[in-house]
Amino acid sequence: MSTSNNPPFPAALRLFSAGVIIVLIVGAGLFFAPVLVRPRWPWAVTPFNARFLGGFYTAEMVVMAALLVWNRWSPGRLVLVMAFIFTVIVSVASFVNLGYFNFERKAPWLWFLVYLASVAVSGLFLWRARARPSAKGVTLNPAWRAYMRVESAILGLYGVGLFLFPLTFGGFWPWPIDAFHAQVYSAIFLAGAGGTYLAWRSAPREELLVLGLAQFLVGLLAILGLVITDAAVHRIDWTATGTLCWLVLFGWIGVSGVFKLYAASGYFSSQSA
């Protein structure tokens, strides 16, 4: 891909990416070292919530690493749009649920500082590049484009429902989630919807690769985290309808990510641009 078609971002964005990755390493610790990280988290998290959050932060860390390595408009456009959506939604959910935070500790202050700074930085870079068209890439076949349009709509609608009606849309999850966690989790689906929408509109290979890898990891680590945590606490009813629906949902997200990785290789393209 030519440099003129896919120009680099300023070096400052690479510093931002590196800083975010350092923060995300702490978040990933909820998955890999929950006993160590949970007491230091900005609010109280149960074992299942900890592993679920940790799995997502691990996937997000991989996505930010892609931006750090490439630091170009593609995949930067996709990464920054998804990051902006996620941080805005989580920031709003945090402000709505201030009672979950003990501001006598440093962690909540750092939480709000990091998220508001991320909103500002990602929003600023996107605003400055708002007139730039997407980088050229794969031309997906009509069936695959139609699927991605449906996928974006499903993720977006569920994300909106989870934010506006958290107890209703989060009621089928394998473990109990309160309104605050449901609203935080809505950001995952809304960010995924935004990323899939961008890929549906135009599909540079780097963006399909990053989106596919992110979805694969989100689906895989969500299910793996549930299995690992339940092996210790034995609280999940694996035959319950809600649990099966949740497994199908995240299994679908993971498999959809694999298909996007194939699409990045041109497997579902009608031609390359």
pLDDT 10s digits, 258-270: 999 988 876 555 5
Extract the tokens encoding 247: 């497994």
Can you tell me whether residue 175 is helix, strand or coil? coil
**For residue 271, what is the enclosing H or E element?**
strand 269-272
For the stretch 19-68, pLDDT in tens is 999 999 999 999 999 999 999 999 999 999 999 999 999 999 999 999 89
The rounded radius of gyration (Å) of the Cα atoms in the chain is 18
* pLDDT of the residue at 273: 40
Count CA within 13 A, CB hemisphere, residue 187. Answer: 23
Within a 13 Å sphere around the CA of 39, how many CA atoms are in the beta-carbon half?
A: 2
In whole angstroms, how far apart are CA 15 and each of 35, 193, 197, 214?
A: 30, 27, 27, 21
Confidence at residue 159, expressed as pLDDT on a 0 to 100 scale: 98
What stretch of H or E contains 270?
strand 269-272
- Taking residue 62's Cβ as centre, other Cβ atoms within 10 Å add up to 17
What is the Cα–Cα distance from 79 to 157, expressed in whole angstroms? 21
- In this prediction the pTM is 0.93
pLDDT of residue 1: 47
Q: Interhelix angle for 179-201 vs 205-233, to 10°? A: 150
The per-residue pLDDT for 271 is 45
Q: Please list the ranges in the chain whose pLDDT falls under 70.
A: 1-4, 137-138, 266-273
pLDDT (0 to 100) of residue 269 = 55
